[in-house]
C-alpha cells in the first residue's frame, strides 16, 4: 500500500489554484500599481499640508509605502511571479480627488488639511479593504508566508488610518471650523 506524504508540494493545492491564483496575482498587480502611485502622490500632499503633524504623517507614510512596495515585490517572488503593475483605477481616482482638493482649497488653510485627511483616509480605507481580502485569499491558497507579509502591510495601513483620525480630531478639524 502506497502512503501519501501530506507535506509534499505536489499534494498541496498551494501552487495549483488555477483561475483563482491568476485572479490573486492580478489583484497584486493592481495594489502594486496603487502603492507606486501613492508613493508619488504623498509628497505633494505633504507639501500642501498646513499642519506640521499632518505633513509629518504624510512623510512617514511615504517611507512606509516604499517599504510596502518592497514587501509586495517579495510577495511576487514567493508566488513565482515577476513584479508587475496594472493600473488601479480606484487609486487613480482617489489621487485625482486629492489633487482636486488641493486645487479647490486655500493654501495654508486648515480647510485644506481637513480635505487632505479626508482624501488620505479614503486611500487608506481602499488599501485596508484590498489587503484584508488579499490576506484571506493567500490563506485560502495556503500561502502562509505571503499572507504574513500582506498582514504586515495591512497593519501599517490601519495604523496610518488611526494616526490620520487623531490628527483630524485633535486640531485640524477644530481649526478648519474656525477659519
Q: Return the percentage of the chain with pLDDT > 90, whole number.
A: 89
Q: What is the pLDDT of residues 93-102, one digit of tens each?
A: 999 999 999 9
Is residue 5 over pLDDT 70? no
**Domains of the chain: which residue ranges?**
18-178
Q: What is the pLDDT of residues 126-159, one digit of tens each?
A: 999 999 999 999 999 999 999 999 999 999 999 9
Mark 6-28 as b/e (b = at least 16 C-beta within 10 Å).
Answer: eeeeeeeeeeebeeebeebbebb
Model confidence band, residue 9 (pLDDT cutoffs 50, 70, 90): very low
Model confidence band, residue 4 (pLDDT cutoffs 50, 70, 90): very low
Q: How many CB atoms lie within 10 A of CB 47?
A: 10
Q: What is the pLDDT of residues 20-35, one digit of tens each?
A: 999 999 999 999 999 9
**0.95 exceeded by pTM:** no
Is residue 48 over pLDDT 70? yes
Q: What is the pLDDT of residues 63-117, one digit of tens each?
A: 999 999 999 999 999 999 999 999 999 999 999 999 999 999 999 999 999 999 9
Question: What pLDDT is recorded for position 18?
Answer: 87
Distance CA 125, CA 122 (A): 5
Question: Which one, of 89, 88, 91, lies nearest residue 120 by Cα?
Answer: 91
Q: Report the sign of the C-alpha dihedral through residues 137, 146, 130, 95, in that order.
A: negative
User: What is the DSSP code (8-state) at residue 55?
Assistant: H
Question: Which one, of 142, 112, 143, 100, lies nearest residue 50 by Cα?
Answer: 112
Domain 18-178 CATH (choose: 2.160.20.10, 3.50.30.20, 3.40.50.10240, 1.20.1260.10): 1.20.1260.10
Amino acid at each position: 500500500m502506497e502512503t501519501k506524504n501530506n507535506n509534499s508540494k505536489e499534494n498541496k493545492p498551494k501552487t495549483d489554484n488555477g483561475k483563482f491564483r491568476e485572479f490573486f496575482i492580478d489583484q497584486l498587480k493592481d495594489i502594486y500599481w496603487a502603492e507606486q502611485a501613492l508613493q508619488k502622490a504623498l509628497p505633494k500632499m505633504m507639501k500642501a499640508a498646513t499642519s506640521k503633524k499632518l505633513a509629518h504623517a504624510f512623510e512617514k507614510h511615504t517611507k512606509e509605502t516604499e517599504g510596502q512596495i518592497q514587501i509586495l515585490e517579495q510577495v511576487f517572488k514567493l508566488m513565482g511571479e515577476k513584479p508587475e503593475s496594472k493600473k488601479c483605477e480606484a487609486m487613480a481616482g482617489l489621487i485625482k480627488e486629492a489633487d482636486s482638493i488641493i486645487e479647490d482649497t486655500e493654501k495654508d488653510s486648515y480647510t485644506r488639511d481637513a480635505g487632505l485627511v479626508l482624501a488620505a483616509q479614503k486611500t487608506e480605507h481602499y488599501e485596508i479593504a484590498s489587503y484584508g481580502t488579499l490576506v484571506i485569499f493567500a490563506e485560502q491558497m495556503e500561502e502562509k508566508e505571503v499572507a504574513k507579509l500582506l498582514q504586515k502591510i495591512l497593519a501599517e495601513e490601519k495604523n496610518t488610518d488611526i494616526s490620520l483620525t487623531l490628527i483630524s480630531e485633535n486640531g485640524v478639524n477644530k481649526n478648519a471650523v474656525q477659519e
